[in-house]
Amino acid sequence: MRELVRELSRQIDEYVKAYDPDDSLEWQLVLNEVSTFIDIDNQLSVDQTPITLYYRLTNSVIPPLPMGADKILSNIQLYSLEEIIIIGNYQDQIKFSELTLDMYRMLQAVERQSVESTSSSDERALMQSPATQQKEIL
């Protein structure tokens, strides 16, 4: 991460020198927000473990469908989460742009683990949502 921040800083310096020196203060503010956000996020942990991957939606945290659910679900429309509204809880928080640290953590909690990160087709089947699995059963 530090290397990416240094690269961003170098690119900002090049931009300011080549194009618009008046933008220097705004770009410095962005760089400070990014650096502070990363520093604080790296210091926070929940239950002594990183939150980044462990609390994403996976089949291990989604309860299985109960027996006989296929009969019930065949008569109703299945829904999926497509959009969410996240509202921050505190006024003066560490943030990058308009994304506060608590909103960032909430986004991580509802983010689904990507199927591409698994190596076998069996694991990909396990990563599917219950709704998708149900469609395959019917």
Q: Give the residue, 8 or 97, on which the prediction is more confident.
A: 8
pLDDT tens digit string along 39-91?
877 776 655 555 455 556 666 767 777 787 777 777 666 666 677 777 777 77
Q: Name the H helices within the chain.
A: 2-18, 24-43, 69-73, 101-110, 121-127, 130-137
* Confidence band, pLDDT 50/70/90 cuts, at residue 5: confident
In this structure, are 59 and 19 located in the same domain? no
pTM of the full predicted structure? 0.43
- At 106 the pLDDT is 77
Q: How many residues does the chain have?
A: 138
- Region 87-100: what's the mean pLDDT? 74
Given a cut of 50, whether residue 121 has pLDDT beyond it is no
Cα first-last separation, the chain = 46
In this structure, are 80 and 135 located in the same domain? yes
State how far the alpha carbon of 126 is from the alpha carbons of 55, 95, 114, 121, in Å: 16, 35, 12, 9
- Check if the beta carbon of residue 59 is closer than 8 Å to that of residue 36: no
- At 49 the pLDDT is 55
In this structure, are 61 and 128 located in the same domain? yes
Q: Which domain holds residue 35?
A: 1-43
The number of folded domains in the chain is: 2
In this structure, are 30 and 76 located in the same domain? no
Q: Give the residue, 99 or 44, on which the prediction is more confident.
A: 99
- Check if the beta carbon of residue 41 is closer than 8 Å to that of residue 60: no
pLDDT tens digit string along 8-27?
889 988 888 888 788 888 88
- At 135 the pLDDT is 42
**Ramachandran area for residue 47 (φ above 0: left; ψ -120 to 50: alpha; else beta):** left
In this structure, are 53 and 102 located in the same domain? yes
In this structure, are 30 and 4 located in the same domain? yes
In this structure, are 111 and 56 located in the same domain? yes
State how far the alpha carbon of 99 is from the alpha carbons of 6, 74, 116, 135, 138, in Å: 21, 40, 27, 36, 41
In this structure, are 39 and 56 located in the same domain? no
In this structure, are 66 and 131 located in the same domain? yes
CA distance 59 to 53: 14
In this structure, are 39 and 50 located in the same domain? no
